[in-house]
Amino acid sequence: MKKIAFVTGATSGIGEAIARILASDFALIICGRREERLKKLAAELRDQTDVYILTFDVSNSTEVNSAFDSLPSNWKNIQLLVNNAGNAHGRAPIHKGDLSDWDAMIDSNLKGLLYVTRAISPGMVEKKTGDIINIGSIAGKEVYPDGNVYCASKFGVDAATNGMRLDLNPYGIRVVGIHPGLVETEFSMVRFKGDEDKSESVYKGITPLYASDIAETVKFVVDRPPHVTIADITIFPTAQASSTIVNRQS
Total domains in the fold of the chain: 1
Average pLDDT over residues 17-39: 97
Average pLDDT over residues 94-112: 97
Residue 230, domain extent: 3-235
pLDDT of residue 201: 82
Confidence band, pLDDT 50/70/90 cuts, at residue 185: confident
CATH number of the domain where residue 217 is located: 3.40.50.720
Q: What angle do CA 227, 232, 236 make, to 5 degrees?
A: 130
Structural domain contains residue 250: no
Structural domain contains residue 190: yes
Mean pLDDT of the chain: 95
pLDDT in tens, 30-72: 999 999 999 999 999 999 999 999 999 999 999 999 999 999 9
Indicate if the pLDDT at residue 187 is higher than 90: no
pLDDT of residue 113: 98
Structural domain contains residue 242: no
Structural domain contains residue 176: yes
Confidence band, pLDDT 50/70/90 cuts, at residue 250: confident
pLDDT of residue 190: 64
pLDDT in tens, 63-73: 999 999 999 99
Whole-prediction pTM value? Answer: 0.94
Q: Chain-centre distance of CA 145, in angstroms?
A: 23
Least-confidence region, from 152-161, 169-178, 201-210:
201-210
pLDDT in tens, 138-158: 999 999 999 999 999 999 999
Structural domain contains residue 244: no
Structural domain contains residue 156: yes
pLDDT of residue 115: 98
210 counts as catalytic: no
Average pLDDT over residues 114-130: 98
Residue whose C-alpha is closest to residue 41's, from 24, 57, 28: 28
Structural domain contains residue 248: no
Structural domain contains residue 174: yes
CA distance 223 to 110: 26
Indicate if the pLDDT at residue 228 is higher than 90: yes
pLDDT of residue 1: 79
> Which position among 52, 115, 144, 150 bears the catalytic label?
150
